[in-house]
Every structure is written in C-alpha cells, then in structure tokens.
Chains A and B, each alone.
Chain A
Amino acid sequence: MNRGKPAALVIGGGIAGIQAALDIADAGYPVYLVEREPSIGGRMAQLDKTFPTLDCSSCILTPKMVDVGNHPNIKLMTYSDVVSIDGVSESANQRMFHVQVRKKPRYVDVDKCTGCGSCAEACRMKGRVTSHFNEGISKRSAVYVPFPQAVPLKYTVDPEACLLLTRGRCGKTLLCKDACPAGAIDFEQREELVDLEVGAVIVATGFDLLDPHLKPEFGYGVYPEVMTGLEFERLSSASGPTMGKITVDGKEPKDVVLIKCVGSREKDRRAFSLGRSSGAERQTSSRDPHTGVPYCSRICCMYTAKHAHLVRDQIPDARITVFYIDVRASGKGYEEFYDRVREEGVVYRRGEPAEVYRRGEKGDRNGRLVVAAEDTLLGKPVEVEADLVVLATAVVPRADAGQVAELVGIECSPDGFFQEAHVKMHPVETATDGIFLAGCCQGPKDIPDAVAQAKAAAASALVALRRLEG
C-alpha cells in the first residue's frame, strides 16, 4: 500500500465498490475495501448472464475481483463491518475520517487456507445449511465459500450454523479440523478491531429485493413453481445448484410466465419503515399499507426480457409469456434486445396479473398453475397456464440502510435509498463532505450505470484525497 498518500474507504464490495476501489487504487492512492460477506462480488456474482450482451456475469466480474485481490494499493477486508466513522476536521476544507472496522472471525486462518474445500466436504452440517448465495434454493455446509470464484478464496465458518459455535459441541471430534490438510481451522480466533484514517468514504452497500410474501396473490412460498427473478438467476446459472438446468421439481417447464412490477410502482404504499414510523399509513383504513414501493425498480423490464431469452435458449419449444404494464428498455442496446426477444417468440401481453392459483382436482399437485390477468389490449380477462412463474420483485434498500446511514452520517431519501446532494447535479455526493455514494444504495440501477457512478464517486474521492495532500 502506498503509505505516503491519504487513503480512501469503500464500504461494500459489489461491482460498484470494486470499480470505485480500482479507480482510486489505479490512480495511486491506497484504498480500504470493506465487505461484510466472506467474498467480494455482491449481486453481480449471483447473476447468470447480463443484458443486453448476454455476457456471463461472473466472467466479466471475476477479472475485476481478481484485480482487487492482487492490487498493491487495495487492502481488502472481507468478512468485516464498519463499526464507526467519526469525521475529524483538520481545517475548513479538509477532513479526515477515523474509521473503526471489525474483522469478524472466520475461524479459519487465511494464511494457511488453500481453498481446497476438504473442511466443507467433511462438515457434519453438510447439505443442511441454507445457501443465501443461491437464494435458498440449495444447501451447503457450515464451513463454506459463497461461490467457487470467491475473492479471497478462503473458507469461513458460519457462526449461526456451526454446531460447535451454536451448541458448544460438534460430536466427539471436529471433522473440519481433522480434514484440513493445512491445519487452518482455528476456533480460537476472535474478532479484531482495526482503526483506519481515511480522507474519503464511498458507500456502496447495494440493495435488497422485496419480500415476495408481501404480495400473497402470486402464491410465492405456497407454490414451488413460483420464484423470484434472483432465484431464477441461480437456477439458470451454470454454477448454480442445478448446473444451469431450468427445471421445476425436476421437470422442464413448458409454459413459463414472467410477471413484472411485483411491488414496484405502487402509489403511497411503503414496504418498509426505515426504523422510523411510517407516515404513509392511512388513518381510515384497516388495510395493511406495507406492501410495495412507489418508484420504478428500473432493471426489471430488462432482466425479465433476459430471463425470457434464457428460457427460450434452453427450452426451444417452451411457451413464454411476459406480462407488463410498460416495457422500460431505455439503455444502450436495450430496445434492440427487447426486439430480439420478441422475435424469438416470447409473447408480451399487456396487463398486470392479479393472481396466481392452482386449478386441479382436490387442490393436488397435479393441477397446473394459472396466472389470471386482464389482457388490456384484448380488453378481456385471460388465464395463462404455467409450469414456472418468475416474479420481478421490487428493488428495495437494504434492511439496515437506516442504520448504515446513521453510522456513516448521511441521510436517506423518502424512498429509503441514500440521499444524494442534488438529484440532478450531484448524484454521487452527499450532504457530508468527503462521503460519496456509488451503486444501488443510492437507487436502483443496472450494471453500466453502477459502474459509471462508481467511477464518478472515485473521481470525487480523488479530488478530496488530492486536496488532503496539500
């Protein structure tokens, strides 16, 4: 690390954080990249192919991840949280931040771990712990790497799943420790607090997706054939739990329906309260107002088109229907991609489905799912049978966005995402000098916009760091 120069802190190791860190580091300044998961990569690592070029997401992401891992100017702190940030003014124009980072214990010595995976093979909890990376579709061991191209490729013991850590004992002998050829398992590890001083902070903490249970009319959680877009990504991804085979209950779906705007564009309804009382609750109605968000989630039209294409690619004779209200294909090459997908025989029907139900004798599993909607261009209600229903759920701020904002010292907009200094002219600055935003934590956006914004944040950070150099 370039010791003589002031450093930057990037919070969040998704594509936005990665890009911001790389730009600052390439310019010759030291960067601390703090990521709470065991590996960087964020949401992009979970994606299969990206629109509109259909590049394999990990393929274009991993070179950047590797760059970060190898960069002499980047100190990568994964499996770590930022505990506190205190701004200390040195003079009117300059500001340094004292940051404390908590490095959570992996219970694995990263200097010894070779990423061989023997511990995970041997783990008593193998196949029994839900994999969040795979959106709950598959199970893993209590000691794991989130995905095979993780950076760093070091194993981590999940403190909520490990028998030793949760119950105090794991059989007579620790299988992971026994299996590890490098002697890297170390349950004596404790968390470590690290103090840093930085001249600029970039917040790139990403997003969550709306809980589809909030839209019960679609039967998510009731019908196994109904899944979210991100679950579909894991299903169709070659590195996913089915090695990329799109199957539902072991069978290839022949009728696929994709539903957009699930929870987005809902007026006056808030799906979350930011830890403060939600003023949007209506006084006179006993109806639960917390079901959706009023903004457009921006990426769903395109990723739905992509999903439709991926199905068509794998199952050439499938009948694929996309239900929409508008098709928002506005980026470079996007409208052309939408054209292509329709040319591939994906049918776009205008109408937001009202519900999904199962039609069959005795409510049994052999009955098919039916998506009920009005086709507004036909002007009448329609029912489309489906073996697979994919819901494009709303992009929402992370559940702890409010806490992160408080910790960092920034504000949230009414929609819950972090507030930029000016929505038109200062999209990456915040009201606090020296603190910048990148990626979806500021609002939903696709990869090109996240990358551009991350670079923009880096540019601002570089100016701040230059000023500190005097």
Chain B
Amino acid sequence: MAEPKPRIGVYICHCGVNISATVDVEQVTAFAAGLPGVAVARDYLYMCSDPGQVLIRQNIEAHDLNRVVVASCSPRMHEPTFRGAAEQAGLNPYLVNMANIREQCAWVHADRKAGTEKAEALVASAVAKAALLEPLEAREVEVTPGAVVIGGGLAGMVAALNIADAGFPVTLVEQSDHLGGRVADLNRTYPTLESAAELLEPLIEQVRSHPNVTVLLNSRVTSVEGYVGNFQVAVQNDHQSQISDRQAGSIIVATGYDVFDSRRKPEYGYGQYPNVVTTLEMEQRLTEGDLAVDGRTPHNIAFIKCVGSRDAQVGNPYCSRVCCMVTAKQAYLVKERLPEAKVTVFYMDVRTFGKGGEEFYDEVREKGVLYRRGNVSEIVRRGDRVALIAEDTLLGRPIEVEADLVVLAVGMESRTDADAISGLLKLPRSADGFFLELHPKLRPVDTAVDGVFLAGCCQGPKDIPDTVAQAKAAASSALILLLRGTVLAESATAVVEEELCAGCGMCVEVCPYGAPALHPLWNVSRVNAVLCKGCGACAVTCPSKAIRLQHFTEEQVLAQIDALVEV
C-alpha cells in the first residue's frame, strides 16, 4: 500500500521575544512554506499556549496534515505538549518533530541575519526528517503493585509508610540492624528541642507493625533487573547470606549520607586532641549527659562551622544546609547544662533559614552564646587545652581563643557505598556527589531511571522536615505508578530486523540497559522495548545494519544532514 504523501504543518514560535528578537520568524515561516512536503506554515507568539495548540489541532483537520513540525524551544520543554495536541486531533504523536531554534539558535547568537539563516536550516532539517517519520504505538505495561524502599532511615520509613497506607506492599531494606538511620543518633532536634528518639519511636513502631510493610534488616540490595513497573530486586541478608527476590513496580532510594571525615582537615587536630570532637559525637555526649573532657568539666567550649563544607580544598564546595541549626542547637543545650561555661560559635554566615530557625538563633544568643565571625584557621595545643587561631573579621584582626572542648560542625557527603547503588540502578550523580534528580526545580525526586525515586539526604543535605516532605514526595511519585496500575513505555526504541541479524551479540555487549538479548534457539537478537532507552548504541554498532532505531532511523538522520548542508 503506497504511503500517503507527507503533508507537513510547520509552526514557528516567537516565544514572546525570546526567539523573535534574534530570528526573523516571519521570514523563516515564509521559507518553511516553500519546503518540500509542507502544506501549511504559520508563526505564533507562544506555540505552547492554549491557542497555539488549538492552531495545530485545527490545522491538522482543516489541511489534512499528517506530519507536524514545531520550531520553538528545546523538546525537553514541550515535546509532550505538542505530541498531545497532535494526538487530540487524531494524529499519531510520533509524527511530530521539533526544531530547537531557541536554546540552539536565538539564545546563543546575536546576529539576526546569521541567526535567521541558521533557524531556516534547522527548520529545513526538521521538515526533512518529518517527511520520513513513522507512526509508533505506545505500549502500556502492567505495574507490579508494590514497592521496594532502599534505606531504613527517616526518609525510607516515611516513604514506606505512605505507600503502605495507600494499600500497597512495601519492602524496606536496611543494611544495619536497626531502623532510624542518623536521626536515631540524635539527642534533640531543633527548633523545638524535642527528643529525637521520642519523635522517631512512634514512626518506627508504625513501620514495624504495619501489615503492608516488610522490614529486612541487615540486608543489602545486590542486583536490580527490569524496568519501570517491573523491577526484580535481589536482596541479600548479611547474616544468612540468603538472597530473596522482591518484585516491585517502583523503587525508592533513601540511602542517606556519610559524615565528613574531619581527619581530612588536619589543621583542626581531630583525632590528635581529645578536646576536638564532631557534632555527631556531641549528640552522643549530650544524650549520655557527659560533656567532660579527660574527666574535667569544660569551661570554654567552641563550635566551628563549615567543616568539610563550602570548602574547595576538600572538594566540597556545597553547603551542608543543616549545620548552622545543629550548631545553634548544641550550643544552646551546652549552655543550658553548663550555664557558667563560655560558649562561642565561629561562623562565616549563619544560615538559620527554616521555620522557627531565625527565632531560635535569637534565643541562642539570648542564652549567652557568643557568635564570632571568622573561619578558624587552625587549632594548636595549649597544655591540656587547645587554642583556636582565627581572624575575627568584625574586629578586623587575628585572635587566639582557648577552649577545653571544640566541636566541629561536620558536613554531609554522599555515601561511599552509594557507588554500589548508583551502579545497580544506573543513577547519575550531581557534581556534589549526591544523586542527581531529573530537574532541580520541578522534578526534585524523579531520576533519569523511570520508576526509581529519591528521598532524603542521598539527594542532597536536608533537615528533618524537608526529608519528610521529600520522602512523601517520592511516595507520591511511586503511588502514581502503583495506583494507575499501568505505565506507558517509550516508543522510540530499537528494533532488530531478524533476517539481517547474524547473532554476533555485539549489541548485547554495547547496550548499557541490557535491552537486547540473543534468543537462545534462533540466535537472533531481540530488544526489550521497555528496557530500551533509544540511545542508538546498538544500531550504530551492528555490523549487519540489522538494527533500526525507531524515530531516529538512518534515513531520517541522513535526510536531516542533507537538508542542513543544502540550505
């Protein structure tokens, strides 16, 4: 059956003035109208707006269009929007193509003539590809009604509980022998100064007793197979070295953080002087009620902030977000227990931004804690005490302050064993080492791997309220999958033409997602369309040219290149 000739609708977006300031959109539209296969070409102020989409839908009907090209912003912004508009008009969404004339043209060039010419070339290229596009069917995949949460700290428990409350079974995998993570090690929490244990206990109890939650302590995830909606998670129990397989529709990673090792700042004498401890150790001391150093009650206590944070020297330029409040809290508690003691906090900035934070900072100073601005440069011994050497930047001169006890506000780091998890799940990391979310503003819990979500400090330092909120957010993302029961799989995947396939297996080797597999009997490769991410590595590698990457076929790409060169 002969394919109908392409009737392409081309839409050039002004994007307000974002594009039209540099690109002559009317000229590009006129140019587009003359391209082969183009039935109609229009320009509009904001193609993504309601009227813009209505325009596409109406044109599809009125002009009997069977392809659509939108020249506008990056597809990352609105590709789903335009696909949706086409679908509403009865056109297969994969017959829509986009030309990025904003991020790749108007926003990076200043010359109007050259910019317009480039936009024309990009449009011609997109039109050439559009003529060769084929309809693709979206596939729905069943979602296993259950989730696996990796990490039994605060984030993991909250996420698990939320999913369980919604009626789904959750497996909570925790590598240590107890739930509660780092919060369980805390004494009191700011700004209310409630006992951390008291806050945590009801939560732990709820998790343990919930009929939908299975807690696996002393356990580790050893492998993850599958894809969104159908994960197979292998969990190994350390003690029994027995592996169980859990099925899950969604995985939540809540593996927490590591604490900066203060030995990496040798100038502070941590590990050398018994007087120098970390805030985590301080929590313990506060819980045990023992603030003594070498058996003596300290009279001069100093806190040093930003240890291992905001520090390019140790490779952690980021802020660890919680330390200012932790320090304020500990300073307050110390002063409460030792009212006669002199308590000083050395700071660069005071980041007490949370709810009740600034007010708590006021209370801490009223309690008698002195805040001195200056990052301590080094700590030296003074008999059985130590001396902090710094510049007081408000006095504008160097100072030496003696102390019996120095508390280092250590920062958060990504866990060293996070490598294992990110390898298993193929999760990318941000520059700061924590797990990378899909979009820092609008997708704070989603990852590049569909169905895998992040909760808590494994994504970045945060305090308890933000951790709880984010864990629930991850639960929400998981619940969307679980409640819907099905998920759409990406259609732009690779397909093997089995007659051409020689069974060499190179595609299997090169695929990062384990999507192709050689059939054991027929010795041809088949691609699991749900695992396939459409990266094209296999298509390029195949020596027999047996693999077609749908929506990015060789013909389509060559047509794009030809159009670019000809213009």
Q: Which residues of A contact B (CB under 8 A)?
A: 15, 19, 23, 26-29, 50, 52-53, 55-56, 59-60, 62-64, 66-67, 69-70, 114-116, 148-153, 238-239, 243-244, 264-265, 267, 294-296, 298, 326-336, 339, 376-379, 413, 415, 423-428, 443, 447-449, 451-460, 462-463, 466
B477 contacts A by Cβ under 8 Å? yes
Selected from B199, B317, B354, the residue in CB contact (under 8 A) with A335 is B317
Question: Could you list some 13 contacts between A and B, CB below 8 A?
Answer: A23-B476, A55-B441, A62-B48, A333-B430, A377-B394, A413-B355, A424-B465, A427-B466, A455-B473, A456-B469, A462-B483, A466-B165, A466-B483
Query: Quick check: which of B333-341, B345-353, B536-544 contacts chain A, the rest being far away?
Result: B345-353
* Nearest B residue (CB) for A426: B468
B468 and A456 within 8 A (CB): yes
Query: Quick check: which of B49-57, B89-97, B122-130, B242-250 contacts chain A, the rest being far away?
Result: B49-57
Query: Quick check: which of B220-228, B377-385, B432-440, B498-506 contacts chain A, the rest being far away?
Result: B432-440
With A26-B480, A455-B472 as known contacts, state yes or no: A462 contacts B166, CB within 8 Å: yes
B272 contacts A by Cβ under 8 Å? no
With A296-B353, A466-B167 as known contacts, state yes or no: A428 contacts B472, CB within 8 Å: yes
Query: Quick check: which of B77-85, B283-291, B526-534 contacts chain A, the rest being far away?
Result: B77-85
A453 and B349 within 8 A (CB): no
B77 and A66 within 8 A (CB): no
* Nearest A residue (CB) for B81: A66
Query: How distant is the Cα of A15 from the Cα of B443 in the complex, in angstroms?
Result: 12
B321 contacts A by Cβ under 8 Å? yes
A327 and B349 within 8 A (CB): yes
B464 contacts A by Cβ under 8 Å? yes
B147 → chain A closest CB, angstroms: 12
A470 → chain B closest CB, angstroms: 10
Neighbouring B residues of A56 by C-beta, 8 Å: 18
* Nearest A residue (CB) for B159: A459
Neighbouring B residues of A238 by C-beta, 8 Å: 16-18, 21
Query: How distant is the Cα of A294 from the Cα of B317 in the complex, in angstroms?
Result: 30
Query: How distant is the Cα of A267 from the Cα of B432 in the complex, in angstroms?
Result: 36
Selected from B18, B430, B431, B479, the residue in CB contact (under 8 A) with A459 is B479
B449 contacts A by Cβ under 8 Å? no
B484 and A330 within 8 A (CB): no
Neighbouring A residues of B469 by C-beta, 8 Å: 427-428, 449, 452-453, 456
A379 and B319 within 8 A (CB): no
Which DSSP category, helix, strand, loop or mixed, fits chain A's interface?
loop
Neighbouring B residues of A453 by C-beta, 8 Å: 469, 473
A335 and B77 within 8 A (CB): no
- A424-B464, A459-B472 known; 9 new pairs, CB 8 Å cut-off, are A66-B50, A295-B355, A295-B359, A296-B357, A331-B319, A379-B396, A425-B468, A447-B441, A456-B476
B445 and A452 within 8 A (CB): yes
Selected from B77, B355, B394, B430, the residue in CB contact (under 8 A) with A60 is B77
Neighbouring B residues of A451 by C-beta, 8 Å: 441-444, 473
With A424-B199, A456-B472 as known contacts, state yes or no: A449 contacts B466, CB within 8 Å: yes
B453 → chain A closest CB, angstroms: 10
With A62-B48, A376-B394, A463-B165 as known contacts, state yes or no: A328 contacts B351, CB within 8 Å: yes
Neighbouring A residues of B460 by C-beta, 8 Å: 331-332
With A239-B16, A333-B440 as known contacts, state yes or no: A424 contacts B51, CB within 8 Å: no
Query: How distant is the Cα of A311 from the Cα of B353 in the complex, in angstroms?
Result: 26
A335 → chain B closest CB, angstroms: 4
B279 → chain A closest CB, angstroms: 16
- Chain B contact residue count (CB 8 A cutoff): 80
A455 and B16 within 8 A (CB): no
B63 contacts A by Cβ under 8 Å? no
A159 → chain B closest CB, angstroms: 23
Query: How distant is the Cα of A204 from the Cα of B475 in the complex, in angstroms?
Result: 19
* Nearest A residue (CB) for B474: A455
A424 and B430 within 8 A (CB): no
A163 → chain B closest CB, angstroms: 27
Query: How distant is the Cα of A53 from the Cα of B431 in the complex, in angstroms?
Result: 13
A424 and B472 within 8 A (CB): no
B393 contacts A by Cβ under 8 Å? yes
Query: How distant is the Cα of A427 from the Cα of B16 in the complex, in angstroms?
Result: 38
B16 and A60 within 8 A (CB): no
Neighbouring B residues of A334 by C-beta, 8 Å: 318-319
Leading 10 A-B pairs by shortest Cβ distance = A456-B472, A455-B473, A459-B476, A27-B483, A326-B349, A153-B50, A455-B476, A330-B321, A296-B358, A459-B472
B356 contacts A by Cβ under 8 Å? yes
Neighbouring A residues of B358 by C-beta, 8 Å: 264-265, 294-296
B477 and A330 within 8 A (CB): no
B230 contacts A by Cβ under 8 Å? no
Query: How distant is the Cα of A149 from the Cα of B396 in the complex, in angstroms?
Result: 52
Query: How distant is the Cα of A160 from the Cα of B352 in the complex, in angstroms?
Result: 42
A37 → chain B closest CB, angstroms: 16
Selected from B51, B78, B432, B459, the residue in CB contact (under 8 A) with A63 is B78
B137 contacts A by Cβ under 8 Å? no
B246 → chain A closest CB, angstroms: 21
Neighbouring A residues of B393 by C-beta, 8 Å: 377
* Nearest B residue (CB) for A59: B77
Query: How distant is the Cα of A300 from the Cα of B328 in the complex, in angstroms?
Result: 22
B349 and A424 within 8 A (CB): no
Neighbouring B residues of A52 by C-beta, 8 Å: 440
Query: How distant is the Cα of A443 from the Cα of B359 in the complex, in angstroms?
Result: 14
Neighbouring B residues of A152 by C-beta, 8 Å: 50
Query: How distant is the Cα of A292 from the Cα of B138 in the complex, in angstroms?
Result: 55
A424 and B18 within 8 A (CB): no
B476 and A458 within 8 A (CB): yes
Query: How distant is the Cα of A19 from the Cα of B469 in the complex, in angstroms?
Result: 14
